[in-house]
Copies of this chain bind each other. A is one copy, B any other.
Amino acid sequence: MARPRDENKIEAIYEATLKLVLETGFNGLKMADVARAANLATGTLYIYFKNKEVLINELYYHLKKNKTLKMLEAFDAKDPFVVAFKKLWLNYLTISLAEPERMKFIEQYTHTGYLTKKTKQQSDQLLQPLEEFLAIGIKQGLVKRLPVQLLLSQLMGPINESVKLHYDQTLKMTSSLKEELFQMAWSSIKA
């Protein structure tokens, strides 16, 4: 059976799944509920996604991809490195703050065992442009000479944590705080 092409339905399923996972949490996710929320019959769901695992994995990749592409929109090859870096960094933070739902979902499933090796690899692929970008910084002597994956993780870790604090209401993200956080990030990786 070739994958059918009704992109509207796929989108509806993604929306429904996202919503339900956030509401009922991880374990509460039932295929029947997803179907209902997407205004489909249970069986129809299985026409579009072979099974639950596939649904989760594809949604995960879908969200991750969207997020990454969105972040990269801020990139202008003509900018000097530091300018470009700041634009990207801020953009990533902004996106993460703007779409808490999607963020949370990603977080939620990252360490679950639900995610296939393949999905994880594909997702990591998405970060390649960023890794290449950092490599340029290193070559220009602006960034610490460390593995790009490590640098990336050191950048993303703090951002993700900040966003969580923002969600928890532990902290309100202001633009001056953003600036502060950026300074911290840059201080940590600059050569």
Contacts and interface: CB of A to CB of B under 8 A. Distances in A.
Interface of A: 2, 24-28, 41, 43, 104, 107-108, 110-114, 144, 146-147, 149-150, 153-154, 156-162, 164-165, 170-171, 180-181, 184-185, 187-189
Contact of A188 (B114, B144, B164, B187): B187
A111 B100 CA distance: 13
A26 B147 contact: no
Contact of A187 (B24, B157, B187): B187
What is the copy number of this chain in the assembly?
4
Contact of A154 (B43, B110, B170, B184): B184
28 contacts: A2-B41, A2-B43, A25-B113, A26-B26, A26-B112, A26-B113, A107-B111, A108-B112, A111-B111, A146-B180, A147-B170, A150-B162, A150-B171, A153-B158, A153-B162, A153-B165, A154-B162, A156-B157, A157-B158, A157-B159, A157-B160, A157-B161, A158-B158, A158-B188, A184-B188, A187-B187, A187-B188, A188-B188
